[in-house]
Amino acid sequence: MIDCLLFGLSYGVVFQARFGVWPEFYLPLTWLLEVWLVASYVLGRYYDAKDASKAFFFRQCLGTLWTTLLSAAGYLSYHWLSATAQDAAVYRSFLLPFLLSFGLLSLLSQFALNEVLRNHLSESQKWLVLGTAEQAARLSSLLKWSRLHATLEHCPIGDFAKLADCQGGCSFVVPSMENLPAPVQPQLIQLQSNGFEILSVFGWSEKTLQRFPPELLTFSDLLRGEFSISKYSFQLRLKRLGDVGVSLILLVLSSPLLLVAALLIRLEDGGPIFYSQQRSGLNGQPFRVWKLRTMGVDAERAGAQWVRARDSRITTIGQFLRLTRIDELPQLWSVVMGEMSLIGPRPERPEFEHMLEDQIPHYRIRHAIRPGLSGWAQVNYPYGASIEDSANKLSYDLYYLRNFSFWLDVLILFKTMRLVFNARGAVPESF
């Protein structure tokens, strides 16, 4: 929103200074603003406001510079392709000072906004856990990957004095709603009527964690249909239409890139360009997924295994292909054929799934929708290769199923673009 206001202000002031008149509405400039906003997001200019390091400020400056260059290149390309020579000359003459002034104002506003938000967010939301100390400790451990600032404090259910002394800014989590003692119930109802927030673990997980740890879910949560999607859903049909359209476009646009990558793979070790694996898809049905080969030819001679940090099996060109996600591009054909989606839980190998189903509760729920090239887990959780990582990723998959919509898919798509451009999340960082 701030960038939109600064864009209009800079445009008016620079145009007035350059031509002596106030500008009229010019439609291509709205496209320039859209390019700026998308490039800013993808290049990471809208990062977490908690960061105050020197690296953050350097990243903001570099991101603003690249956004300015991309916006200028896109705008000049438009004029070169479609505008008249006179219009192109007029707008090129003020484009550079306009973008430079706008970029500088945008950068300064980002620094100022970051400082304001960082100070504001330094005060965490306080939650009182009305349950056992073990329940409070378990919920506290889940805050590691929380997007929101929050602190948890244990409050024994029978501690009426602590409940009575609670002041504004405090909220409550009740792990076992059905087991609350009768004397506590009217007191909680009174607190709720006074404006205090009281949530079950289910509601707290959705609001604070933006994921659903599977071990916290009860059978009643599943039976209510919280994680089921009707096959007749309009959103699901819209998702499928977007999958096919976007995948075909990406396949055409990326075909030269695939040819170059194929040549480099062949030149490095003379092995095959593609490799395939069996994965579990919709309703657990197996299908074969194809990727560009990023490991040595005999990488799994000892059997199936997860990728490790600094895995020696990954080839030199394979490391680059994984960082940029180019190795995933052949899976677009699986999307077109209906075996996968652009957005959804990542498909797992059956060899691992049998083990995961035995050790992670409710694991098979993730098969309620087509697996995806990217997903809510991939854009929120680092690359993982362990049972604990799989459980954490499942918690994000459950959130996706609970909140599934076409617009959530669009959000995940943009977040994926940001990860790809910043070469993050494609390989394990540590053991």
Structural tokens at position 91: 């707008």
Tell me the average pLDDT across 175-183. 73
pLDDT exceeds 80 at position 30: no
Q: Can you give the length of the chain in residues?
A: 431
Tell me the average pLDDT across 322-335. 89
| Residue whose tokens read 């916290």 | 216
Tell me the average pLDDT across 179-186. 74
Structural tokens at position 123: 């005060």
Tell me the average pLDDT across 119-123. 53
pLDDT exceeds 60 at position 12: yes
Per-residue pLDDT at 109 = 80
CA atoms within 13 A on the CB side of 103: 23
pLDDT exceeds 80 at position 84: no
The sheet with strand 198-200 has its strands ordered as 150-155, 125-130, 170-174, 198-200
pLDDT in tens, 247-302: 999 999 999 999 999 999 888 888 888 888 899 999 889 999 999 888 877 666 65
Q: Between 277 and 26, whose confidence is greater?
A: 277
Per-residue pLDDT at 287 = 92
Tell me the average pLDDT across 234-256. 92
Compute the distance between CA of residue 247 and CA of residue 255 in angstroms, rounded to an integer: 12
| Residue whose tokens read 């430079």 | 100
Per-residue pLDDT at 341 = 94
- The answer to whether 375 and 400 have CB atoms below 8 angstroms apart is yes
**Is residue 419 very low, low, confident or very high in pLDDT (cuts 50, 70, 90)?**
confident
Contacts by 38-43, CB closer than 8 A, 24 or more apart? 38/414, 39/66, 39/67, 39/70, 39/71, 40/3, 40/64, 40/67, 40/106, 41/414, 41/417, 41/418, 42/414, 42/417, 42/418, 42/421, 43/67, 43/418, 43/421, 43/422
**Is residue 222 very low, low, confident or very high in pLDDT (cuts 50, 70, 90)?**
confident
Q: Between 393 and 159, whose confidence is greater?
A: 393
pTM: 0.76
Structural tokens at position 373: 């090239």
Mean pLDDT lowest for which of 217-221, 300-304, 326-330? 300-304
pLDDT exceeds 70 at position 81: no
pLDDT exceeds 60 at position 87: no
SS3 state at 372: strand
pLDDT exceeds 50 at position 347: yes
Tell me the average pLDDT across 330-339. 93
- Residues of the chain within CATH 3.40.50 domain(s) are 125-210
CA-based torsion, 417, 422, 424, 426: positive or negative: positive
Per-residue pLDDT at 431 = 38
At the topology level of CATH, where does 125-210 sit? Rossmann fold (3.40.50)
SS (H, E, C) 167-222: CCCEEEEECCHHHCCCCHHHHHHHHHHCCCCEEEHHHHHHHHHCCCCHHHCCHHHH
Compute the distance between CA of residue 113 and CA of residue 106 in angstroms, rounded to an integer: 10
pLDDT exceeds 80 at position 7: no
Q: Between 338 and 114, whose confidence is greater?
A: 338
| % of the chain surpassing 90 pLDDT | 20
Helix (H) or strand (E) run with residue 342 in it? strand 341-343
* Nearest by Cα to 46 from 9, 10, 3: 3
Q: What is the average pLDDT score of the chain?
A: 79
Q: Between 327 and 385, whose confidence is greater?
A: 327
CA-based torsion, 17, 19, 25, 27: positive or negative: negative
| % of the chain surpassing 70 pLDDT | 77
* Nearest by Cα to 117 from 148, 151, 142, 140: 148
Compute the distance between CA of residue 200 and CA of residue 129 in angstroms, rounded to an integer: 10
